[in-house]
A and B are shown apart, each in its own frame.
Chain A
Amino acid sequence: MPEPLLYAKDIHKSFGPVAALRGVTMAVGRGEVVGLLGDNGAGKSTLAKILVGLYRPDRGELYFEGRRVNFRSPRDARMHGIEIVYQDLALVEDLPIYRNLFLGREPRRALGMLDIEAMKREAEKLLREIGINVRRPDDIVRRLSGGERQAIAIARAVKFGAKLVILDEPTAALSVKETEFVLDYIGRLRDRGISVIFITHNIFHVYAVADRFVILEHGSKIADLEKRCVERPETIVDIIAQRLRPDQVGC
């Protein structure tokens, strides 16, 4: 395997007496979509928050593009090119699209003033790129559908140079049609060489787009399978439900 984009080695994290991660090691290749799976409380979100600098690991090492990294804040991680998109807390609902798109990275004029024209122009371009043609840059986010919000949040990450986008339950609250729209968009990102970690407990959503599946349980990795070794999504379900041991799956 060529050098992975991201390599997380032996990551531990506890909250008081509760061990959320007990030594997880995983890698994400360039242009690879990895489905990060597991039940509630398996440690998926904690791992994601460590990868984007929201939490700091108690123990373990992170490598990004082959270099050891130590993220102190989400800003830090973002500067390296890792960005997370949350299911429902990605956007500020009462702000218009263009202000959300540039939140935290606003184009400036003199004296710390916003370059509102540039923001609106760019926002319009991005909306067209995603394929949302019915919205204007100054529409309030509250008026958008779940799929539109998700796509906008992902597009925002990529626009600002994310090489690895972490999606936290991106399809949990979406209708079937909206889910397809978002999955299609993720596929297009992979074609552009963007890596994606897709966190979900719905294997059926991630199966279509993922190249590999990493399964966590009680803070440990119990399986790391290439898509080609998994014939059907039901196999993953069986592993999570412990009806099947990971070593019984192979190729």
Chain B
Amino acid sequence: MLPFFLLRYREFGVLISVLAIAGAFSALSPRFATLDTASSVLTITAEVGVVTIGVAFLMIAGEFDLSVGSVFAVSGTLLAYLVAMGVPEYAAAALVLSAAAAIGLANGLITIRTGIPSFIVTLGMALFLRGLLYAATGGFPVSYKGEVLPVVFAERVGDFRVSGIWFLAVAILFYFLLHRSVFGNWVYATGGNRHAAKAMGVEIERVKLVAFMLSALMAGLGGIMYVSRFKIVEPVVGLDLPLEAIAAAVIGGCSLMGGIGSIIGAALGAALVGMTRVGLVLVGAPAYWYITFIGIILIIAAIINTRLSRYA
């Protein structure tokens, strides 16, 4: 028996989707089922995946974060700036992650104190940060001058990049936090029925604040991983990321209403996004089709998940 409660069927849905799409791409391109492709998929999955896991965690707690794309871009850019100013790379990374968490805290505080839906608060935060980023960079890419973080976050080890290990570590950590810890039980309860949670003494505001911070923190980590790989960051990076991450989370079985979802599902959803991006390139489809394709998968996955949840 699987050790996961209630997610047995929901993860089954995304697993089927992942296998179906892998099968389709393998049939269409002989280069898909290779180690090289697996490496590319894992690299993209890792960056989208850490963000998706944070977003999924927050969604399960009952809130949204549309600012992850801007936090991703701001984090990468800020890191490049700090290192260019002579800040040691680890210290710069720590500062960037703290800044990301602080943005998450702001998202959370505004949402909780005002009662405005987090959808709106984080949309506002996304626009605010993106505008700041355009103003600070003048719209030009910023290059990364450091040499330590690219090794830590994006070095090639054999056929794969070390970012895959970071993704795995984040997934395992969040798995234990959400499914095995006391706090995780509060997260589910807060998203599933906040009145019940509150009545049972769960401090739902604090639970949500932490979830907002973790979501932003993971977006910041994603941004650091991205700039470590490319050593340059454009101010438009991550524009589609919030919707990609939410799509991946929903594909992975998260409910938009909160209280339902899993880390393994979210990770598989991110893998599906990564596979689609790489696979479409391999089969020679124009890059524009990617988002269209994700849209179709999202709707199909949501239908499958709804059907499956009746048997959960």
Contact-residue bracket for chain B:
20 to 34
**Alpha-carbon separation in the docked complex, A82 to B88 (Å):** 55
Residue contact B193 to A89, C-beta cutoff 8 Å: yes
**At the interface, yes or no: B116 with Cβ under 8 Å from chain A?**
no
Residue of A nearest to B309 (CB): A94
Residue contact A94 to B6, C-beta cutoff 8 Å: yes
Q: Which of A7-15, A103-111, A172-180, A235-243 contacts B (4 or more CB under 8 A)?
A: A103-111
Residue contact B180 to A91, C-beta cutoff 8 Å: no
Write out the residue numbers on chain A whose beta carbons fall within 8 Å of the beta carbon of B143: none
Q: Which of B188, B200, B259 has the most chain A CB atoms closer than 10 A to its own CB?
A: B200
Residue contact A104 to B200, C-beta cutoff 8 Å: yes
- Per-residue A-contact encoding for B174-200, CB less than 8 Å = 1, 0 else: 001000111111101100110111111
Contact-residue bracket for chain A:
20 to 34
Residue contact B6 to A140, C-beta cutoff 8 Å: yes
Give the secondary structure class of B's interface.
Answer: helix
**At the interface, yes or no: B288 with Cβ under 8 Å from chain A?**
no
Write out the residue numbers on chain A whose beta carbons fall within 8 Å of the beta carbon of B193: 89, 91-93
Restricting to B245-276, which residues have a CB under 8 Å from any CB of A? 259-260
Restricting to B224-260, which residues have a CB under 8 Å from any CB of A? 259-260
- Per-residue B-contact encoding for A113-154, CB less than 8 Å = 1, 0 else: 110100000000000000000000010100000000000000
Give the secondary structure class of A's interface.
Answer: loop
Residue contact B201 to A114, C-beta cutoff 8 Å: no
Write out the residue numbers on chain B whose beta carbons fall within 8 Å of the beta carbon of A92: 188-189, 192-193, 196-197, 259
B88, chain A: closest CB distance, angstroms? 30
**At the interface, yes or no: A95 with Cβ under 8 Å from chain B?**
yes
Write out the residue numbers on chain A whose beta carbons fall within 8 Å of the beta carbon of B176: 113
A180, chain B: closest CB distance, angstroms? 25
A185, chain B: closest CB distance, angstroms? 20
B193, chain A: closest CB distance, angstroms? 4
Residue contact B199 to A86, C-beta cutoff 8 Å: yes
Q: Which of A74, A75, A94 has the most chain B CB atoms closer than 10 A to its own CB?
A: A94
